[in-house]
Amino acid sequence: MRSAGDDLISVAVSGPSAAQGLAESLRRSSRWIDVVAGIDSVVVRFDAAIIDRAQAETRLEGELEETPARRAVPKQTIVVPVAYGGENGPDLEQVCQQLGLSQQEFIGLHTGEYTVDMLGFIPGFAYIGGLDERLNVDRLAEPRQFVAAGSVGIAGGRSGLYSLPGPGGWPLIGRTSCRLFDASAPDPFVLSAGMTVVFEAVESL
Amino acid sequence: MTVSVIKPGLQTTIQSAARTGMRHLGVPASGPADALSMALANRLVGNLATASALETTLTGVSLKFEVDTGIAITGAPARCAVNNDAIEQHTTIVVRSGDVLTVGAAEHGARTYVAIAGGLNADETLGSSSTYMTAGLGGHCGRALLEGDVLSFQELGSDLEQLATPDEFRLPILDSWSVRACHSVETASLSDPSQLFDTRMTVSNRSDRMGIRLDGQRLSTDIGGQMPSAPVFPGIVQCPADGHPFILSVDSGTTGGYPRIAKVARADLHIIGQLRPGNSFALLRRTDEQAAKELREKHAYWRSWLPDVASVI
């Protein structure tokens, strides 16, 4: 357990599925203003005007000891068509150069079946784990101010699906026409943690 | 009960309470970037601190009222007028049907707030009527106001009390800021924390409701570009590999993979909304315990004028 700020406590966990499970069980207790999972941590926000950090930590420790309920993993599979490179994936060339791969080799390694690790960042943005080890690149040193909706990035062994336009820090390798967030739908989130995603290469969107 | 938009300004949005409890789905807080100033405007027209009101950005706004009502203006100082008569900020103003309110460009700070008695009607999505433009949530059609937009508001239930913000509660909005901040999870990764805390930096022109990039000494951390994405909140200061830290504001994402090197204390988060490109800025280092104590002191100070201050800071 570590402090993440004056009203934040971070708990380290083993990975995305442990983080999702712990976050869900902490949310159920309704004791925290926000409970957010990361890839290998969960952060809770408490009301620092009402409870002391020490009390909050004791409370959290107690909750960590309770066995988290097993997550119901969604069985759905969603096919995500991706147009790789060019203006759809402006960093693909640079990424391939860095990785010593041709664009065709890259696409061959990137297409296929994956699991959604988590949602986060912006509404509907999906973190998708399990990238081939040969596709491991860093985030951009300077984040972009504008990334188009549907953009597909990679960083740190994961793919990221940009559900909405906005700033972003992942090298962009392609783009999909899949709509990943629809505010007017009863459930605006198309993807959720645990779902299966299949990347398929297409020529154009 | 309507008001129409004559000049929308650079970015004028309806803001209300923050969205909470949905960050795990990537839904940010939104709400006013300077929640304390908006609460002060609402206070002067008898509204709750988080009632829907307008937030302008740098350039102001111009509105025509189609009915008599009460308004109040707070936040970034700007020349304001009803028709051609200058009006003051921080007082309850009665406007008549047909009156045109003009809020000029911010002279200092970044955001001026206009509250209307009864509160504006706004679209409520995902639990709040605050505008989040990126996803088109809340506010007026989920976007910044455009010329010709017509907004409606609640009818005034009773006579409006004429109020003015007492001097001791008028937030000074100048060009140099110091905010209190604590360590965050990756602060220890900084090669030299004294380059971040208790030192002067400059607010860059990359500043919006998502975040504010700071110019100063280039920072370095011992974390590369592959940190596993981790939860972030408004007030968190992140440091990408280019060494220019940025402070997350109300519309910031909910997870991110740049090192979290500080967090602006909850008590001073409202100040982030007034940072203007070129302003001088410093983070004053506090322990978590000091920050909590100062938060309680700030609440105690403000409560005599804003009974619901804890809902905004």
Q: Are A185 and A202 in contact (CB under 8 A)?
A: no
Name the strand (E) or helix (H) holding B264.
strand B260-264
SS3 B42: helix
pLDDT tens digits, B119-155:
999 999 999 999 999 999 999 999 999 999 999 998 7
Per the structure block, which two tokens stand in for A138?
């860093």
ipTM value: 0.96
Interface of A with B in 159-178 (CB under 8 A): 163-167, 169
Interface of A with B in 102-121 (CB under 8 A): 118-121
Interface of A with B in 3-62 (CB under 8 A): 3-8, 10, 23, 27, 33-43, 45, 48-49, 52-53
Model confidence at A67, in pLDDT bands (50, 70, 90)? low
> Mean pLDDT for chain B?
96
What is the mean predicted confidence (pLDDT) over B284-311? Answer: 98
CA A69: distance to chain centroid? 22
What is the mean predicted confidence (pLDDT) over A106-123? Answer: 96
What is the mean predicted confidence (pLDDT) over A132-148? Answer: 93
pLDDT tens digits, B254-282:
999 999 999 999 999 999 999 999 999 99
User: Which one of A123, A141, A169 has the shortest CB-CB distance to B25?
Assistant: A123
Q: Residue with structure tokens 């905010």? A: B179
Whether the predicted pLDDT of A69 surpasses 70: no
How far is A60 from A50, CA to CA, in rounded Å? 15
Q: Given an 8 Å threshold on Cβ–Cβ distance, is B231 in contact with A183?
A: no
Closest by alpha carbon to B113, among B191, B45, B64, B159? B45
pLDDT tens digits, B178-195:
999 999 999 999 999 999
Whether the predicted pLDDT of A142 surpasses 70: yes
Q: What is the per-residue pLDDT for B155?
A: 77
Whether the predicted pLDDT of A38 surpasses 70: yes
Q: Are B190 and B196 in contact (CB under 8 A)?
A: yes
Q: Are B122 and B16 in contact (CB under 8 A)?
A: yes
This prediction's pTM: 0.95
% of chain B beyond a pLDDT of 90? 94
Model confidence at A9, in pLDDT bands (50, 70, 90)? very high
CB of A188 within 8 Å of any CB in chain B? yes
CB of B141 within 8 Å of any CB in chain A? no
CB of A179 within 8 Å of any CB in chain B? no
To the nearest 10 degrees (0 to 180), the angle between helices A16-28 and A53-65 is 110
